[in-house]
Amino acid sequence: MTELYTESYAARQRKEYGKWLTVCIAVVALTLMVCITLCFFVSTGTARALFFTVAGLSTLSGWVYILILRPKRRSALAQYRHCDGMLKKGANESEFLTGEVRVLPYEVQVPGSIRVKPVKLINEQGERSLHMNARFSLPEGRLALRCAGNYVAAYEVAEDA
C-alpha cells in the first residue's frame, strides 16, 4: 500500500514551517535593528526625514509580512499540523475501503487548514465522499484505500475479483 503520510514527509513539513518562521523572525528583527540604528542619527535637521524613513520602512516591512510571508508560514503550519494529525490517527482510526475512485478536478480550501481535492468512492454500498490533500495525486480506477477521518491516507490498486 502506498502511504501518503510518512515520518519523512512530516519531517519535511516541519522543516518547511521552521524555514518560513525563521524568515518571518529575521524580517521583523532586521526591520527593528534598522529602525533602532536610524534613531542614533537623529538631530534637529534630520528628524523629519528619519521619521518618514522609519515609518516607511516599518510600513513596507509590515506589508511584506502580511501579503507574502504570513500566508506562506500559515500554509506550512497547516500542512505540518494536518500531516502530524494524520500520523497520530494512524491505524487506530483507519478504515479500509475498496471501490471505483474518481478525483474531482477542483480544489477546496478548508478554512484554517489545507487545500483538499474531493474524492468520490463508488462501491456496492453506494457513493461516498472523501478528501485528499491537494499536494498528493491519486490514480483513478479501482483502488483499495485506507482512510483516516474522511481523508485518504494510503492506497493501492485493487485486485479484480
Q: What grid cell was written down for 132?
A: 485528499
Of 61, 89, 117, the position where a domain reaches its end is: 89
Q: What grid cell was written down for 80?
A: 505540518
- 39 and 11, same structural domain? yes
- 74 and 16, same structural domain? yes
- 113 and 78, same structural domain? no
- 85 and 7, same structural domain? yes
- 82 and 63, same structural domain? yes
Give residue-wise pLDDT tens across range 27-72.
999 999 999 999 898 888 888 999 999 999 999 999 999 999 999 9
Q: What is the DSSP string of 15-61?
A: HHHHHHHHHHHHHHHHHHHHHHHHHTT--TTTHHHHHHHHHHHHHHH
Give residue-wise pLDDT tens across range 60-85.
999 999 999 999 999 999 999 999 88
Domain count, the chain: 2
Name the residue range of residue 129's domain. 94-157
